[in-house]
Amino acid sequence: MPIQQPSGQIKLTNVSLVRLRKERKRFEVACYQNKVQDYRKGIEKDMDEVLQIHQVFMNVSKGLVASKEDLQKCFGTTNVDDIIKLILQKGEIQLSEKERQIMLNKINNEMLTIISAKCINPKSKKRYPPTMIHKALIELKFSPVVGKPAKLQALEAIKLLISKQIIPIVRAKMKVKVNIKAPTENEESLEKIKKFIITKESESNTLESYECTGLIDPVAYRDLVTLCSQIGTLQVLDMAVIDESN
């Protein structure tokens, strides 16, 4: 990828671009692959290790350097270091087709692993292998995207799989332990909490406290957290277990 400079032409190799739009103008910096994420995470602190060339461009591939007038108008400063830092932190990483495919494969594998761990076949009580989940999602035309966390995409995929039921699938239950203080003074909330616990494994009730270990539907988790935070504690013992009682 050529960069035209006053002294001649600089050839950049193994380049990744970070792009930021301001005031309808496009600004780019040329970086080394994989270094931008390290910089954003604080692993790499030296900007010179991230940048291929210490310059702000309007278009890297054409070698168009941003003018001071454009920098002042769009960023309110001509300080190149400050502008580069902003672009590195806030800009959109432009991936090559190869990079995008590698990242897409990684996200897809993570997503399928999460779904496999969180869901079961309600008839056999067994988890589906990622390959079978992958086939079901292809049939539903659900494809992962780059730029969104795998966990979030997995939850979206789970909702779709459960609603369409092209394979029999449900969320595995969560195993929790609740401890409620002064149960006689919080009877109304306690009754609501009890309804969320589908299968009780152990339960004790005294004047001082109510304690129960059991399985809940993951959909009810947020409501249960809200209730327990007001009158006791909630502890997650297992994120996904198979309820053999049903």
Query: Which domain CATH number covers 17?
Result: 3.30.1250.10
Check whether residue 159 and residue 103 sit in a common domain: yes
My answer on whether 164 and 209 are in the same domain is no
Given 171, 198, 233, which residue is the final one in a domain? Answer: 171
Question: Quick one: 192 and 159 in the same domain?
Answer: no
Sheet holding 25-32, edge to edge: 64-65, 57-59, 25-32, 15-22, 92-94
CATH number of the domain within which 101 lies: 1.10.10.900
Domain for residue 74, yes or no? yes
Domain extent at residue 128: 97-171
Same domain (yes/no): 31, 88: yes
Asked if the model's pLDDT at residue 87 lies above 60, the reply is yes
Q: How many Å apart are CA 117 and CA 129, to the nearest integer?
A: 9
- Residue from 236, 245, 179, 165 nearest 212 by CA: 179
Tens-digit pLDDT profile for residues 96-133: 777 778 889 999 999 999 999 999 998 888 899 999 99
Whether residue 73 sits in one domain with residue 61: yes
Q: 130, 155, 171: which is the final residue of a domain?
A: 171
Regarding whether 190 and 201 lie in a shared domain, the answer is: yes
How many separate domains does the chain show?
3
% of the chain surpassing 70 pLDDT: 93
- CA atoms within a 13 Å half-sphere pointing along the CA-CB vector of 69: 0
- Amino acid letter at 127? R
Residue 47 lies in a domain: yes
Considering the domain architecture, whether residues 120 and 201 belong to the same structural domain is answered as: no
Give the SS3 label for residue 3. strand
State phi, psi for 143 to the nearest 5 degrees.
-125, 135
How far, in Å, CA of 196 to CA of 216, rounded?
Answer: 6
Same domain membership, residue 193 and residue 141: no
Tell me: the pLDDT tens digits for 170-216?
999 999 999 988 878 888 888 989 999 988 999 988 888 899 999 99
Within a domain: 246 = no
Q: Give tens-digit pLDDT for 218-244.
A: 888 999 999 898 888 999 998 878 766
Shared domain for 88 and 119, answered yes or no, is no
From CA 126, how far away is CA 147, in angstroms rounded?
Answer: 31
Q: Which of 68, 94, 120 is the last residue of a domain?
A: 94
In this structure, the answer to whether residues 194 and 226 fall within a common structural domain is yes
- Please check whether residues 144 and 209 belong to one and the same domain: no
pLDDT tens-place string over residues 35-58: 888 888 889 889 889 999 999 999
Indicate the pTM of the whole model: 0.62
DSSP readout, the chain? -EEEETTEEEE--SEEEEEEEETTEEEEEEEETTHHHHHHTTS---HHHHBSSS--EEETTTTEEPPHHHHHHHHS---HHHHHHHHHHHSEEE--HHHHHHHHHHHHHHHHHHHHHHEEBTTTTBPPPHHHHHHHHHHTT----TTS-HHHHHHHHHHHHHHH-SS--EEPEEEEEEEEESGGGSHHHHHHHHHHEEEEEEEEE-SSEEEEEEEE-GGGHHHHHHHHHHHEEEEEEEEEE--TT-
- Residue 66 shares a structural domain with residue 23: yes
